[in-house]
Amino acid sequence: MGQARFLRSALRGSAAAGAIAAGIAFFGTTALAQEGEETFTEEAGRNVTILERIVVGAGNEKVAIDTPQAVTVVNQEEIDQEQAATVGEVMDFVPGAQAIGSDRVMGQSFNIRGIGSFTAADESKIIVNVDGATKFHEQYRLGSLFTDPELYKQIEILRGPASSTLYGSGALGGVINLVTKDASDFLDEGQNGVLRLKGGYNSNPDGWLGSAILALRLTDNTDLLVQGNYRDYDNFSNGDSTEILGSEFETWSGLIKTTTRFGYNDEQELRLSYQRWNNDQPNANYEQTGQSSPFPPMFPFIGAANPFGFIDRNTTDETAVISYKNPDSMNPWVDFNLNLSWSRTQIIQQDWMPGEPILAGDPLFEDAEYGNQSWQAKADNTFEYIGGNFENYLTVGGAFALQDRVATTETTGSLEFHPEGRETEYGVFAQNEWIYNDVFTVIAGIRADFAFLEPDPTLAGAQDSDYTAISPKIAAHYKLTENLAVFGSIAGTERAPTIDELYTTCASPGRQCPVASSTTSPNLVPESAANYEAGFTLSLYDKLTPGDSFQLKTTAFRNDIDDLIARNPMPAIPGPHYVNIDQALIEGVEIEAAYEAEYGFGRLAYSLVRGIDATTGAPLDTIPAENLVVSLGGYVPDYGLKYGWKGAYFADAPNGANGPADGYDVHDFFLAWIPDMPELRGFELHASVENAFNEQFRNNLDNEDGMGRTFKISLVKELGW
């Protein structure tokens, strides 16, 4: 599209936005005149923007705009508004972060600041947590996260290696935290039970959602939530009405969660939860991260449009968590958290139907079981010390994880290109946050992780490996005035090689090794990243209407990555399958802005990322296109209405999943109705039209076109007693 068209499209969208804004302003002025001189103070409930949401995953709780790290919080309102079928669909207003690969439910991988692709090895560079349990799955041409956004009430996306201190080494891109719903989210004061029923319909793909939540107050201190979701979707179509074959799916998901509060002032909490997601997908595309077209030139003998064919897959993902919290308000030296979890992903595939007959007989397509199972434990305690004009919070903790990786076929047994093995990891960390006069904040932290990797005993020539990874950081935030602040940070981390990278082999030339055979890679060293960030924030209140809020956060970053692990360039003689060959430089700018008033709102997210191979100077193919997302809308409080427009603009990209990519713009319109009238209380309606002008587009990090025009509607009814 070119930068000129990118700007023209953005301006065109801004004109549409201006029309909506004018409507908001007119309605807001009229409504204010009707309401008289009513104002909104902080005590009366000042309007809160997205940048003022509480962040719980960055240490001591604070609002996002005051956190000296790039972090965005997606809440329940936005998840409901998007009516999303995948987690990636709710990340539009997270600058520098997006789901990649395809729009398929089994193709969910993530990219944060140019780090992450749908190839297996990159999935270890972004940490994804569900209620504190780290999720991880590597499999050829398949996504890494299998879940349903209906299960969650909040998603936090922390960008950059600074997250490694609290969440584990290797978060070169960052961390995604998903928080499941609680019974207390639905139970009002005096209620003992709530039944929440939800139904939804999508026109593209033609499909529907059914969901039920039962929230019960078992005792004064114990509540229980039981949730079940079912989705049945056909193939989706792009903006040219071309059907994307093999993208249909049927999923079941559920959550059981109980919370007990006890001790002084009922402040201690014990939570037990179990969630399960299952997808039965007959006749699915083998490659769920998007069909390879054109097929890579290393395989010139294959010319089929869908060379990997179709296969029947059944996927089950489970997570069980026991967590205990004791903030002990009577003892400043006790704020204790314990999280124990078990996680399992199991994928059974069978009955492959060839897309290209020449691939028949490859063990990649045999009936097989792939999976990962992990046991995890994490404990930390925060010591609080408050002086006359300062506060200090020291958090220390430790973590343990044991992960088994499985890949077996009915005929071949173990797979050389998807090796089995076990990884055991221990970690210790400390983070200190010092706040002076509520103006100057300094956060320093360090973490050490020790990883021990063991190959399956049947892998010839493979040997045990152990690694140490260190993740230091220091960050500062200074309020120049009540409205203006600056911040900056320096952070580093190291990522140990994965089982896949250490133990993958190829016995002879062929599809996996086109030039020569390969051996295990015992000499790999950890990847390392040094990240630098600086930025400023601006907060304004009561400027256009009483009680309104405006926040702006701008972040510039530079990430120097050394010893990148990549596939061997396939020399003419046998060698290790993976080697440390690259250095990368990734830098960019992120801007977040939000405005909230009683009768109107606006949001903006802008991301510009550039990345090169520091050795050759070539652009990296994992860098997202420059993009801008804008939303404007309004509220009609007396009738519980919210309405608005969202425009997403993507510039031309010089590189990506399939080389250069054209820019595009996509426009959505949405409406929510949550009436507060007694006869309609508990009723909700959400409606939207996405890609309203039926744009045919392909994100530069995707292997497939995005969805064409889609109409969505969902209805909710709550019954309480």
Q: Is 35 exposed, middle or buried (0-12, 13-18, 19+ CB in 10 A)?
A: middle
**Residue 475 Cα distances to 68, 95, 296, 558, 585, angstroms:** 6, 20, 43, 15, 21
Evaluated on CA atoms 347, 352, 357, 360, the torsion sign reads positive
Please, which residues bridge with residue 81 across strands?
A: none
Q: Could you please report the per-residue DSSP string of 61-124?
A: -EEGGGSSS-EEEE-HHHHHHHT-SSGGGG-TTSTTEEEEE-SSTT-EEEEETTB--SSGGGGG
Contacts of 633 (CB under 8 A, 6+ apart): 20, 24, 600, 601, 602, 642, 643, 644, 645, 670
Whole-model pTM over 0.85: yes
User: Which run of H or of E encompasses 8?
Assistant: helix 2-35
User: Which run of H or of E encompasses 642?
Assistant: strand 641-650
Across the beta sheet with 152-159, the strand order is 71-74, 152-159, 174-180, 126-130, 133-135
**What's the pLDDT tens digit per position in 295-343?**
444 444 444 567 788 899 999 999 999 999 999 999 999 999 999 999 9
Q: What is the pLDDT of residue 571?
A: 64
Residue 158 CA to residue 171 CA, distance in Å, equals 10
**How much is the average pLDDT of 612-618?**
88
Which has the minimum average pLDDT: 125-129, 142-146, 475-479? 142-146
Evaluated on CA atoms 352, 353, 355, 358, the torsion sign reads positive
Residue 367 CA to residue 423 CA, distance in Å, equals 26
Q: Residue ranges per domain, the chain?
A: 2-720
Residue 661 CA to residue 704 CA, distance in Å, equals 12
**What's the pLDDT tens digit per position in 654-690?**
888 888 999 999 999 999 999 988 888 899 999 999 9
Q: For residues 306-319, b (16+ Cβ closer than 10 Å) or e, as one string?
A: bbbbbbbbebbbeb
204, 691 contact by CB (below 8 A): no
Q: Could you please report the per-residue DSSP string of 344-390?
A: EEEEEEEEEE-SSGGGTT-GGGSSEEEEEEEEEEEEEEEEEEE-SSE
Read off the pLDDT band of 358 (50, 70, 90).
Answer: low
Does domain 2-720 fall under CATH 2.40.170.20? My reply is yes
SS (H, E, C) 652-683: CECCCECECECCEEEEEEEEEECCCCHHHCCE
Q: Which of 19, 51, 58 is nearest to 443 (CA)?
A: 58
Q: What is the pLDDT of residue 303?
A: 46
Tell me what the pLDDT averaged over the chain comes to.
Answer: 87
The yes-or-no verdict on residue 407 having pLDDT over 60 is yes
Q: For residues 382-421, b (16+ Cβ closer than 10 Å) or e, as one string?
A: bebeeeeeebebebebebebebbbbbbbeeeebbbbbbbb
Tokens encoding 151: 């299960």
User: Which run of H or of E encompasses 714?
Assistant: strand 710-720
| SS3 state at 602 | strand
> Using a CB cutoff of 8 Å and minimum separation of 24, what contacts does 581-584 make?
581/615, 582/613, 582/614, 582/615, 583/613, 583/614, 583/615, 584/559, 584/560, 584/611, 584/612, 584/613, 584/614, 584/620
Residue 275 amino acid letter? Q
**What's the pLDDT tens digit per position in 58-94?**
666 767 778 888 889 999 999 999 999 999 999 999 9
Contacts of 36 (CB under 8 A, 6+ apart): none
162, 168 contact by CB (below 8 A): no
Residue 478 CA to residue 517 CA, distance in Å, equals 56
**What's the pLDDT tens digit per position in 10-53?**
544 444 444 433 343 333 333 333 333 333 333 334 577 777 77
Strand-pair category, 440-455 with 465-479: antiparallel
Distance in angstroms between the alpha carbons of the first and the last residue of the chain: 56
- Percentage of residues in the chain having pLDDT higher than 90: 65
**How much is the average pLDDT of 355-376?**
85
Evaluated on CA atoms 663, 126, 166, 132, the torsion sign reads positive
DSSP, res 619: B
- Percentage of residues in the chain having pLDDT higher than 70: 88
Q: What is the pLDDT of residue 488?
A: 96
Question: Which residue's entry shows tokens 């309102």?
Answer: 77
**How much is the average pLDDT of 401-417?**
87
SS (H, E, C) 690-706: ECCCCCCCCCCCECCCC
Residue 138 CA to residue 124 CA, distance in Å, equals 9
Phi–psi pair at 691, nearest 5 degrees: 50, 55
Q: What is the pLDDT of residue 34?
A: 34
Read off the pLDDT band of 286 (50, 70, 90).
Answer: confident
Peptide bond into 576 cis (omega under 30): no
276, 343 contact by CB (below 8 A): no
**How much is the average pLDDT of 193-217?**
97
Which has the minimum average pLDDT: 173-182, 424-433, 442-451, 460-469? 460-469
Residue 269 CA to residue 260 CA, distance in Å, equals 6
400, 380 contact by CB (below 8 A): no
Tokens encoding 290: 């998007």
How do the residues of the chain divide into helix, strand and coil, expressed in percent and rounded to 5? 10, 50, 35
Residue 162 CA to residue 472 CA, distance in Å, equals 8
The yes-or-no verdict on residue 573 having pLDDT over 80 is no
CA 59, chain centre distance (Å): 19
Peptide bond into 205 cis (omega under 30): yes
DSSP, res 458: T
Q: What is the pLDDT of residue 204?
A: 95
Residue 125 CA to residue 167 CA, distance in Å, equals 12
DSSP, res 4: H
